[in-house]
Structure 1
Amino acid sequence: MGASLMKSRWWVLVALVLTVTVVSLDLTALNVALPTLADDLGASTGDLQWIIDSYTLVSATLLIPAGLLGDRYGRKRVLLIGLALFFAGSAMATLTGGSGGLISARTFMGLGSAIITPMALSVLLATFPRDEQPRAQAIWAGASFLGLPLGPILGGWLLDHFWWGSIFLINLPATAAAFAAVLFLVRESKSERRPRLDLPAIVLSTGGLLALVFAAIEQPEHGWGALLVWGPLAGGAAALVLFVLWTRRSDDPLVDLGLFRDRAFMGGTVPAITLTLVMFGVMFVTPQYFQGLLGTGALGTGLSGLPMIGGLVVGAKLAPRLAGRFGTRPILVGGMLTMAAGCLAGTFTGHSYGFVAGWLTAFGLGIGLVLPVAMAQALGALTVERAGIGSGLLMTLRMVGGAFGAAILGSLLASALGGRPVAAAQESFLTGMDHVLWTCTGLLLVTVVITLAISPSPEGASVGQSRDEHLVA
């Protein structure tokens, strides 16, 4: 009986691996397609940012409510709804004929993603006992990398042989397989203490985040002095302040603000946020570099990014062993310094692919070292009862960082180009790319200092182990 239950749990993990692969496939496939979308749809830099950020914006702001729904009504049920929404959005994206339609489809897909991510993590928490969770989580995190090499290659091949909308076709069979696996393999679970639907908190948090990221996206076109920019910034900040005040007075808060005082949670969360922001920035500029300066096709662009994936895979394989031996803090700091070195080297990029492949390898190695360790440390502070909301909070912070990365770092590139296409302004593009990479380097170095200050000491919590004796994620 025990062996049967153990086997059943690992089959559940297979289903969760499929769900996260669906989301990661879509992310990198779209980045490869950005130059093609600019040509075929006549999409401006602002349109490209909206195509990315419409997805990120929705998924970032709805992760916490999605986690609440899963804890309250059933994680399997809500996860299936998320997969169905993602499938429908992907199907819409293959058929649309303009930037506006694609942005709408991506918004629909973002809604599905907002449900999938926290539900997959919370199902893992509810399924595996404490001693098996670190291994299960490491496998799940590794699966999140699987779509990174597959997305650009499959997406590039499709773009070279079919119309641009075909890049979303790879989502359809993957989503269908994930839906079937969850339907037949995952058991239903929910929180024993039904969390209440705190509508004021949901409205304030969602509205505040939407306003802030909207302002960041609109800033490159209108400037900070425009009402369309500073108005949402002020309104969004005010809404989030009200959200904090409301939450502090609540007997059953939507978000446990005490997590922000947990050194294990914040010591993993801060590096994860910076990593996501920086990764979005680098992945925004490099496909345009490959196609606009080196003249590679869509498939060639996907293959050109493989050095980063190779470094990432090596780093992800080494990270748990190194963290177990030396503790999490040295690995987080070392990984971020490796990423910073890669970005700094990238500022010397010219027209040679060999040099680019070298710094992308270092950058990917740093990602592989940081991400699984940071996620494990942060998730180790969560309890199974609040698994959905807690994982939703963590992913919200990461996704908001990604949205600001694509918006703000993208605006640096747009300012250098001055509205000209990359191929017609190659030196200006390299200047803008340098600005992006210098900014990424600075952010990583600042985060190293913060991590040294707040992350638990090596004798404290290690990967998959909370200092506060919470259940491990």
Structure 2
Amino acid sequence: MVTVTQGDDVPRDARRWWALGALVASMLVLGFDMTILNVALPTMADQLGATTGQLQWMADAYIVVFAALMLPAGLLGDRFGRRRMLITGLVIFLAGSLVGTLAGQVDWVIAARALMGVGAALVMPLALSVLPSLFGPDERTRAVGIISAASALGLPLGPIIGGFLLNHFWWGSVFLVNVPMVAIGVTACVFLLPETRDPASPKVDVVSTALTASGLAALIYAIIEAPGRGWGDALVLSCFAVAAVLLAGLVLRERRTERPMLDMSLLAHRGFLLNTAAATLVMFALSGLMFVLPPYLQAVLGNDALGTGVRLLPMMGGLMIAARTAQPVVARFGSRAVVAVGLVVLSFAALLGSRTTTDSGYGFTALWLSVAGLGFGFSVVPAMDGALAALPRDRAGSGSGLLMTLRQVGGAIGIALLGSLLAGAFRDRLDVTGLPARAADAAGDSVVAAHLVAEKAGSAHLAASADGAYVHGMGLVLLVCAIASLAAALLAAAFLPSTRPARNEEAEESPAVVTLTGDARQ
């Protein structure tokens, strides 16, 4: 296999489109794996006895590891070979999927998700970085479009595939489905991809990587544990303090490093900072929303897993439509107007959703989900494009890495914070009068657990109370999303620079579209 260094001429290898197929398979797996777990969470809460906090960790273990390792993973590929590290990432992802398939306890599922996060952190940046070695400028736009479409297709496929599997097999099948796809990707990468590297890239900073991972883990742990232990609990406060120290240490270390892995000086560019903040807030809301919706559709409205996946499509449809049409709208009206309006639409959708009652039915939910999808797409795509456009051309690569990392962090905090708000509100509102202490404690773990206790106790009152408590908690979560989105909209309208992208080839292969379709999640 030929090794190509950065800047070499691209060979016209007839196998390049087959190689692209390998990358498409890899990105498709990441795409649907980011949403497939959402419909499985209620089933796993039932069959594994998982609490809301444990469900949060199942979702967050993947995102925390992904966010912490994405930048060093890209640098490992630059230095030691992108094909080699891409294959390594796929193998690790495959191993995590097998662990998840065979897991019989909650802790093993969380460990499997964390291992899959390691693999995804290698696959995501490296699958995109090998494209310049395969395609010349005249074909690259088409290749980026194909790989972006594959990633986007995975988002709505995830809940549908997950729902179908859960209706016919056991919950571990949502992990097993990754195995053949990843195996095909590994085989194709071995035989079809050229090896490329960039020896001039910065070295991987092990200390900064450790500070990022441990700081984020301590922060997420404190947020998830706070509703159960209390926000004033000594362990919770200690974890917040440890997280603050570790993340402050990360910032100080990166600011003093000559070639930082996480270039914090990029935040000095106002356009980059404000657009990145807007995109991060959108992911905060999206991740929290995708966490709280499936239990509502499944436990409260009574849909099966497949029905739940299908009923999430209105939001995915709105998101994909907006993501594909945002660029021409920005070209006409400017990024500031589009981002601000998109955030207002998102705020309106969340506010509408917060008015949901136990008697609202799915029609009302589909309405505000569609509006929310449009708001997400019209705010996040131009925000990411605006962030990268605000940087000098020679810093676009490091800026893209920082942007993707902060978006993942926003998603992880969204699941932790909004999930904790939901758990606390559900437990406070649930009426467990007359239940034995152990049954009352079990019912407070989640709406699924409450329904199981109600079924065993033959208590229709408890089931109705669980539905009402969950809808109340979901309403609070959506209200917080509405307020955060409206505040972001006002800041965007007041301070964002308004830009109109140039109509050229580089604009067409916008990294923002690739980034959006590659990592939007649970």
TM-score w.r.t. the length of structure 2 is: 0.82
Picking from 440, 451, 458, the partner of 2:499 is: 458
Structure-1 separation of matches of 2:271 and 2:502 = 7
Contact preservation (8 Å) 1:267, 1:377 = no
Please name the residue that 2:408 is paired with: 399
- Range with bigger deviation, 38-47 or 334-343: 334-343
Counterpart of 2:98 in structure 1 is 91
319-328 or 147-156, larger mean C-alpha shift: 319-328
Q: What residue number does 1:363 align with?
A: 372
Does the residue aligned with 1:288 lie in a helix, a strand or coil? helix
Give the superposition deviation at 1:379. 4.4
Give the whole-Å Cα distance in 2 for the aligned partners of 1:87 and 1:287. Answer: 26
Q: Distance in 2 between matches of 1:237 and 1:174?
A: 40
Establish whether residue 442 from structure 1 lines up as the match of residue 451 from structure 2. Answer: no
1:427 aligned onto 2:436: no
Cα distance, 1:328–1:7 mapped onto 2, change above 3 Å: farther
- Which residue in the other structure is 1:17 paired with? 24
Question: Which one of 346, 350, 356 corresponds to residue 353 of structure 2?
Answer: 346
Report the CA distance between 1:82 and its aligned residue.
Answer: 0.8
| 1:132 to 1:242, Cα distance in 2 relative to 1, 3 A | farther
Contact 1:247 1:253 in 2 (8 A): yes
Any idea what SS the aligned residue of 1:357 has?
helix
Q: Deviations over 1:121-148 (max 9, x none)?
A: 3334666667876665555444332112
Aligned to 2:286: 279
1:143 aligns with 2:150: yes
The aligned residue for residue 38 of structure 1 is 45
Residues 177 and 108 of structure 1, relative CA distance in 2, 3 Å threshold: same
Of the two, which has the highest radius of gyration?
2
Structural mapping, 1:148-167, within 5 Å: 148-167=155-174
Q: Deviations over 1:360-393 (max 9, x none)?
A: 0111122232333333344454867984x55442
Q: Which segments of 5 or more consecutive residues in structure 1 lack a partner in the other structure?
A: none
Please state if 1:111 is matched with 2:118. Answer: yes
Q: Deviations over 1:246-266 (max 9, x none)?
A: 222222222222211234433
CA distance in 1, matches of 2:478, 2:380: 19
Task: Tell whether 2:118 aligns with 1:101.
Answer: no
- Superposed, 1:41-440 pairs within 5 Å as 41-124=48-131, 137=144, 139-350=146-357, 351=359, 352-380=361-389, 381=391, 387=397, 390-418=399-427, 419=444, 421-422=446-447, 423=451, 424=463, 425-440=466-481
The aligned length equals: 467
Normalised to the residue count of structure 1, the TM-score between the two structures is 0.90
Partner amino acid, structure 2, of 1:401: G
- Whether the 8 Å CA contact 1:23–1:113 is kept in 2: the answer is yes
Residues 154 and 188 (structure 1 numbering): CA distance in 2 closer, same or farther, change over 3 Å? same
Q: Is the 8 A contact 1:94 1:165 kept in 2?
A: yes
Distance 1:229 1:25, change over 3 A: same
CA distance in 1, matches of 2:374, 2:264: 33
C-alpha distance in 1, partners of 2:394/2:133? Answer: 6
Task: Name the structure 1 match of 2:5.
Answer: none
1:218-237 CA-partner distances (Å, limit 9, x unpaired): 22222222222221211221
CA separation of 1:46 and 1:464: change in aligned 2, threshold 3 A: farther
CA distance in 2, matches of 1:421, 1:197: 41
**What is the rounded CA distance, in whole Å, between the counterparts of 1:261 and 1:385 in structure 2?**
13
- With over 3 angstroms needed to count, the CA separation of the structure-2 counterparts of 1:266 and 1:126, relative to structure 1, is farther
Q: Which amino acid aligns with 2:477?
A: V
Question: Is the 1:267–1:456 contact (alpha carbons within 8 Å) kept by the matching residues of 2?
Answer: no
Q: Distance in 1 between matches of 2:500 and 2:316?
A: 32
Matches of 2:169 and 2:364, distance apart in 1: 31
Mean Cα deviation higher: 378-387 or 401-410: 378-387
Which stretch has the larger CA shift, 263-272 or 452-461?
452-461
CA contact under 8 A between 1:323 and 1:462: conserved in structure 2? no
Q: Distance in 2 between matches of 1:249 and 1:266?
A: 20
- Asked if the contact 2:75/2:201 (under 8 Å) is kept, the reply is no
Q: Percent identity?
A: 45
Q: Which is further off, 251-260 or 136-145?
A: 136-145
Q: How far 1:406 sits from its partner (Å)?
A: 0.7
